Chains A and B, each alone.
Chain A
Amino acid sequence: MNTIKLKISQSMDSVGRVISIVRRAKVSVKRLELVSTDSLYEVEMYVEGAADEVQWLVAKLDKLPEVLEIKTAPIITATAIVSR
């Protein structure tokens, strides 16, 4: 599981552009949150999928001019901790 955090311009058009990429990614979206701040939308999504596919998604999202900032990090799940 990975988390992808985006800061995008505050417009549903920008959200639509983000979604248009996410829907083509070969990942499973487990959670998607959107919070409005003063001038931005902050999007946080939890996705499950092969590392390459998550990387594809992040790289494609980062190509959007509307995406002002992008951060990604693997989520360490309880199972993963146990297995270590």
Chain B
Amino acid sequence: MGNVGGIGARERPDRVVDKIVDTLRGLGVKHVLGITGGSIMALFDALYFTDDIEVVMFRHEQGAVHAAEGYARVAKRPAVVAATSGPGATNLVTGIADAYMDSVPVVAITGQVPTWVFGRDGFQETDILGVVTPITKWVYQVKKPEEATAAVKLAYEISTVGRPGPTLVDIPRDLQLAKASGEGRILVNVAKFKPPKPSESEIALATKIILEAERPVVLVGGGVLWSGATKEALELAERLSAPIVSTLPGKAAIPHNHPLYMGPAGMHGRAEADAALANADVIIAVGTRFSDRTWGRFKELQEMVKSGDVKLIHIDVDKSEIGKNVKPTLGIVADAREALKEILRLLPKAAMRNGKFLEWLYTIRRRYEEAMEKWASEFKFFAPWKVLKTVRRATPPNTITVTGVGSHQMWAEIWWDVYEPGTFITSAGLGTMGFGIPASLGAKLADRTRPVVCIDGDGSFQMTFNNLALVREYDLPFVEIIFNNASLQLVKQWQVYLYGNRQVATRFARNPDFIKIAEAYNIEGIRPSSYEELEKAVSWAVRNNEPLVIDVTIDEDKDIVLPWVKPGDWLTQAILPKGMEDVVLTYEHN
């Protein structure tokens, strides 16, 4: 290790890591999330000399990187996470993959063993670059001291330009400690990520297709949120009186009290949203990658587009997404907001109205909600969707809601009402259990003025609850609601219906006492016995900005998430709850 000063030295050295910290400050970075260790402690040491950047120490690197995801989504700018070589770096991998799937700008800085040990299986040596190569937008290993700051700047810029995504810079320990000497140049092509201006001819064609539609539907993906195109998406739908359907990430882009919003479609989407998508004659898909979770399968859609029965307009900032899963009638590579603005410029103010189609969708919604209300009365304990309704009542509209992964997440997809864009954060693409608690911490860190509620499952909770230590340590209160069905319930649902009810390794025979766990972290915990008690507890925590763990007992035998489009099925084949046997999701418009 370099000679950087003895015990108590206070003078700021001039090392590569010090220049990296200057670079981070210059980029406006306020927090570095992570865990120190032998190969990254030089960077943490450099952070000692600045008051502008707070180091937030997690209990596991996976927690730090999920927190970075929550942070970035709330702050709408890249979040920085730092970890040591070997296990520190590999513990980041799940979160990096998660950020890649959900297009979240996270910049990871990992320490690496010194260059003289490279390839010699040194202590805590892992080829992290090789590991994360397929799951990063960009990754770079610094080979010369002068590359370090250039690499960090590029990692930050690339993470956010065009479609966001995670980046990683790996820096060997000896280079971190080397004397800083200028800034080298790293050869990359960043310009190609800048979205092109939408072409006039494509916009004109899109408008023509839209004007000829009888049942247009606007499909909103996560790209609408990143682009800040909520207003334009709503305006488009309003001019057409078109139903708005979203993907799971796109759910965060649309206020759910808008009358044209039908909800998310897909495996566990709203029945009216599935019906809208499956029966549209023109789909304007914006900022979405056509996930199999949204569509069930692509065959029907592709055939309908090919035959001309459905006209599909796909707008995306990432040109590799156009035609990747479904070949559109018209693909437009552009920023969502820019493209929508251009379409709106050509579209008449009140273009059309198909009240009949909308009425049909509202009828499906009404029937679904009535069926669920009846079903709730059969639950011995809490019904998951009623818990969500209760919590929603107790929380202000600007509450940031984070979820874990599992049945509770799917219930939240169907039932949680988002009122302000960007206030719903979930692990959609990778479906990472354990995402909820650390992402909640990150969200709160990014904006301490807003309440944060984590809708979690007992399975998800047990994967990352060690990070609850940060609640008191960094004053990051949030409300953790555990939907406790003593199971990996969503997998169990598949076992019941797709694997002949052979339930293997999905029931927790002995769960720990979650209230005692909360108490161990000096957080109050309750196990409510009624919806009123639940509402009161949430209101108290939000009003007082206090952390709270709520253990909600869910009736595991009845906790079957419906609607459900089974894997590989088409949207109209959604399984609906009891009482909707006469409802078909095919529109009889002739």
Contact = CB atoms under 8 A, between A and B. Distances in A.
Most buried by A among B158, B188, B193: B188
Interface in B502-540: none
Contacts of B138: 64-66
Contacts of B320: 56, 59-60, 62-63
A13 B143 CA distance: 11
Nearest to B130: A16
Interface in A26-66: 39-40, 52, 55-56, 59-60, 62-66
B323 A67 contact: no
A7 to B, nearest CB: 9
Given A17-B133, A59-B324, A66 B141 contact: no
B323 A55 contact: yes
B323 A52 contact: yes
A56 B189 contact: no
A17 B187 contact: no
B187 A13 contact: no
Contacts of A63: 137, 318, 320
B130 A67 contact: no
Nearest to A69: B189
B585 interface: no
Interface string B476-488: 0000000000000
A39 to B, nearest CB: 7
A66 B130 CA distance: 15
B190 A65 contact: yes
B134 interface: yes
Given A39-B187, A63-B318, A67-B189, A56 B139 contact: no
A13 B140 contact: yes
Contacts of B589: none
Contact of B188 (A40, A52, A56, A66): A66
A68 interface: yes
A58 to B, nearest CB: 9
Interface residues of B, number: 23
B356 interface: no
B186 interface: yes
Given A13-B129, A62-B320, A68 B139 contact: no
Contacts of A69: 189
A16 B158 CA distance: 19
B88 to A, nearest CB: 20
A2 interface: no
A9 interface: yes
A13 B142 CA distance: 11
Interface in B427-474: none
A35 B129 CA distance: 23
Contacts of A59: 319-320, 324
Most buried by B among A21, A55, A65: A65
Nearest to B155: A65
B557 to A, nearest CB: 41
A56 B190 CA distance: 20
Contacts of A67: 189
A43 B56 CA distance: 43
A71 to B, nearest CB: 14
A63 B190 CA distance: 10
Nearest to A65: B188
A51 to B, nearest CB: 11
Most buried by B among A17, A21, A67: A17
Interface in B168-211: 186-190, 192-193
A20 B133 contact: yes
B324 A56 contact: yes
Contacts of A62: 192, 319-320
A20 B187 CA distance: 20
Interface of B: 129-130, 133-134, 137-141, 154, 158, 186-190, 192-193, 318-320, 323-324
28 contacts: A9-B187, A10-B187, A13-B129, A13-B140, A16-B129, A16-B130, A17-B133, A24-B134, A39-B187, A40-B187, A52-B323, A55-B323, A56-B320, A60-B320, A62-B192, A62-B319, A63-B318, A65-B137, A65-B138, A65-B154, A65-B158, A65-B188, A65-B189, A65-B190, A65-B193, A66-B187, A66-B188, A68-B188
Given A13-B140, A20-B134, A64-B138, 12 more contacts: A16-B129, A16-B130, A55-B323, A59-B320, A62-B319, A62-B320, A65-B158, A65-B189, A66-B138, A66-B187, A66-B189, A68-B189
A-B pairs with the 5 shortest C-beta distances?
A: A59-B320, A65-B188, A9-B187, A20-B134, A20-B133
